[in-house]
């Protein structure tokens, strides 16, 4: 693809939305990781991180998803009390910017992974009080990741995940993952 | 009702299906979810194509664009192909303001619960859509207020304890209501319980200032009653089986009572 390495803002069709998307996610992560350097107040950090996570969740779900890749998902309640989860896939006529798409899917998938690693770290260090915060983060980011994957049933996300894995890992990992993915998704 | 055993359609990738408890588990729901009103409101029939609400589509939608499936916990999953509608490219400001207004509407409903009358359409409409911003903010405030008036070395414990308690208790009460035949969805119920926390916040703040338990007590009793009234009145449409209503409301009373008690003894 011509835009294989296009991770630059200048090629994006919605730089502001992209900026906010990355901004909220990074802010939540950095506040969690470095918060204790600036203040020893657990409550303050907890509140700030929770609010940032909530803002990020809302932003990703309601703004970023629809602006960058034209996908939406939501939950409705039917009159008899059932929840209905609705996943809307993209309009085929819509032109989706390659940079936007790449950025979106990469960051969408890597965020739960990073928080998952932090959760592991918190468990190993026996910091259970921080673990509650990290679990919230994992749940929120994983929800968005899964929901948008579900919206995008027609392959765009998988193509990017394929190329990401192929590029970022070498040797054994690459062979293993590449073989697995091509088998699962039929090449 | 919502726990009927229905089979999963074979073409659905069930590993990706969120169930009714997916984005919300014990620890927290800073989830606002929904409140992006869809361009289409489904009815009981799976292939209904009528659109209603303020975000109607400009063109009629062919049935083939919608697939409805059912999971074993009674949630439905719908996959749609985008087919028009004017909310996909709306300015972010509009999206934001819509949600802000919805939150404001719900807070007002808690503050001034209208007594019955023709409230059905109104409360039905408010109950139908849910969001969890209110519960999140009120929960944070409550936890903060209670932790401020706690002894210095217990501050973070009290904070996380109250935070976790509120969400877990809301989930438990909701499950209780659903198991008693409630026809209200999981998130709606959490939304209502969370919004009705609002009256307890002045109680907690009051407890920071006033140290005398005898003064705190009657005030907190009044506030608990207010919370209880607001939530029971809105939950009344929950359709719990006859004779089980008290059984369903008792945990709600316990929930607010316990939080009010914390405000008294803190």
A161–chain B Cβ distance below 8 A for any pair: no
pLDDT digits (tens, 9 = 90+) for B158-172: 898 899 999 999 999
| Number of other CB atoms surrounding residue B37 within 10 Å | 17
- Angstrom distance (rounded) from CA A58 to CA B43: 26
- Angstrom distance (rounded) from CA A78 to CA A181: 38
Q: With CB atoms and an 8 Å threshold, state whether A58 touches B184.
A: no
Residue with tokens 């002894």, as numbered in its chain: B151
Any idea what the Cα angle at residue B90 is, between residues B86 and B91, rounded to 5°? 165
**B256 closest CA partner among B174, B166, B188:** B166
Best mutation site among A56, A86, A143 for testing chain B: the one with the most B CBs within 10 Å? Answer: A86
Of the candidates B79, B185, B188, which has its C-beta nearest A87's C-beta? B79
Q: What is the reported pLDDT for B249?
A: 84
Any idea what the Cα angle at residue B98 is, between residues B95 and B100, rounded to 5°? 110
B236–chain A Cβ distance below 8 A for any pair: no
- Number of cross-chain residue pairs from A and B with Cβ atoms under 8 Å apart: 170
Chain A residue at shortest CA distance from B43:
A78
Q: What is the reported pLDDT for A50?
A: 94
Hey, what are A83's tokens? Answer: 């929840």
Q: With CB atoms and an 8 Å threshold, state whether A70 touches B23.
A: no
Chain B residue at shortest CA distance from A42:
B156
CB B206 within 8 A of CB B41: no
Give the percent of chain B with pLDDT over 70: 61
Chain B residue at shortest CA distance from A150:
B16
ipTM value, please give it.
0.73
Q: What is the reported pLDDT for B18?
A: 38
pLDDT digits (tens, 9 = 90+) for B203-236: 898 888 888 888 888 888 998 998 888 888 777 7
Give the percent of chain A with pLDDT over 90: 35
What is the mean pLDDT, run by run of 10 residues, along chain A of 187 residues? 56 83 93 87 90 94 86 80 79 78 90 94 89 92 91 65 58 59 57
Sheet strands side by side (includes A72-77): A72-77, A83-89, B76-81, B66-70
Please determine, for residue B25, whether its predicted confidence score (pLDDT) is greater than 60.
no
Best mutation site among A88, A89, A151 for testing chain B: the one with the most B CBs within 10 Å? Answer: A88
Task: Enumerate residues 91 to 150 of chain B having a beta carbon within 8 A of any beta carbon in chain A.
Answer: 92, 95, 99, 127-130, 133, 136, 140, 144, 147
Residue with tokens 């890749």, as numbered in its chain: A69
Q: What is the reported pLDDT for B136?
A: 93
pLDDT digits (tens, 9 = 90+) for A71-105: 888 887 777 767 788 888 777 777 778 888 888 89
Answering whether pTM is above 0.80, one says no
Secondary structure of chain B in HEC code, one letter for each residue: CCCCCCCCCCCCCHHHCCCCCCCCCCCCCCCCCCCCCCCCCCCCCCCCCCCCCCCCCCCCCCHHHEEEEECCCCCEEEEEECCCCCCCCCCHHHHHHHHHHHHHHHHHHHHCCCCCCCHHHHHHHHHHCCCCHHHHHHHHHHHHHHHHCCCHHHHHHHHHHHHHHHHHHHHHHHHHHHHCCCCCCHHHHHHHHHHCCCCHHHHHHHHHHCCCHHHHHHHHHHHHHHHHHHHHHHHHHHCCCCCCHHHHHHHHHHHHHHHHHHHHHC
Best mutation site among A45, A83, A155 for testing chain B: the one with the most B CBs within 10 Å? Answer: A83
Give the percent of chain B with pLDDT over 90: 9
Q: What is the reported pLDDT for B70?
A: 52
Hey, what are B32's tokens? Answer: 């606002």
């Amino acid at each position: 693809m011509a835009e294989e390495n296009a991770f630059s803002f200048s090629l994006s069709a919605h730089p502001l939305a992209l900026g906010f998307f990355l901004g909220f996610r990074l802010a939540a992560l950095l506040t969690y990781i470095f918060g204790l350097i600036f203040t020893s107040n657990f409550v303050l950090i907890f509140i700030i991180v929770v609010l940032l996570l909530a803002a990020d969740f809302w932003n990703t779900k309601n703004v970023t998803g629809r602006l960058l890749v034209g996908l939406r998902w939501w939950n409705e309640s039917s009159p008899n009390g059932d929840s209905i989860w609705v996943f809307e896939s993209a309009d085929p006529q819509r032109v989706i910017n390659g940079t936007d798409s790449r950025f979106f899917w990469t960051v969408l998938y890597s965020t739960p992974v990073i928080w998952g690693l932090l959760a592991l770290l918190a468990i190993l260090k026996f910091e259970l009080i921080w673990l509650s915060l990290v679990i919230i983060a994992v749940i929120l980011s994983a929800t968005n990741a899964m929901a948008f994957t579900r919206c995008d049933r027609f392959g765009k996300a998988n193509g990017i995940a394929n190329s990401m894995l192929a590029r970022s890992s070498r040797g054994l990992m690459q062979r293993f993952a590449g073989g697995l993915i091509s088998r699962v998704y039929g090449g | 009702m919502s726990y009927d055993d229905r089979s999963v359609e074979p073409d659905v990738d069930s590993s990706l299906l969120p169930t009714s408890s997916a984005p919300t588990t014990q620890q927290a729901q800073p989830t606002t979810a929904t409140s992006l009103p869809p361009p289409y409101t489904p009815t009981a029939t799976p292939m209904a194509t009528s659109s209603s609400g303020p975000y109607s589509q400009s063109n009629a939608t062919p049935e083939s664009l919608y697939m409805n499936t059912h999971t074993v916990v009674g949630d439905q999953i719908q996959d749609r192909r985008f087919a028009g509608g004017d909310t996909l490219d709306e300015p972010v400001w509009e999206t934001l303001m819509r949600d802000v207004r919805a939150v404001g509407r719900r807070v007002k409903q808690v503050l001034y619960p209208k007594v019955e009358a023709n409230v059905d359409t109104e409360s039905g409409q408010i109950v139908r859509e849910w969001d969890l911003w209110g519960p999140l903010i009120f929960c944070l405030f409550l936890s903060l207020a209670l932790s401020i008036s706690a002894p210095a070395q217990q501050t973070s414990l009290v904070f996380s304890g109250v935070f976790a308690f509120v969400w877990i208790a809301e989930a438990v009460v909701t499950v209780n209501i659903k198991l008693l035949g409630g026809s209200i969805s999981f998130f709606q119920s959490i939304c209502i319980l969370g919004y009705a926390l609002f009256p307890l916040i002045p109680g907690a703040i009051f407890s920071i200032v006033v140290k005398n338990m005898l003064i705190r007590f009657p005030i907190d009793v009044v506030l608990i009653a207010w919370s209880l009234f607001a939530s029971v009145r809105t939950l009344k449409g929950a359709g719990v089986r006859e004779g089980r209503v008290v059984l369903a409301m008792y945990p709600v009373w316990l929930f607010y009572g316990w939080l009010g008690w914390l405000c008294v003894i803190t």
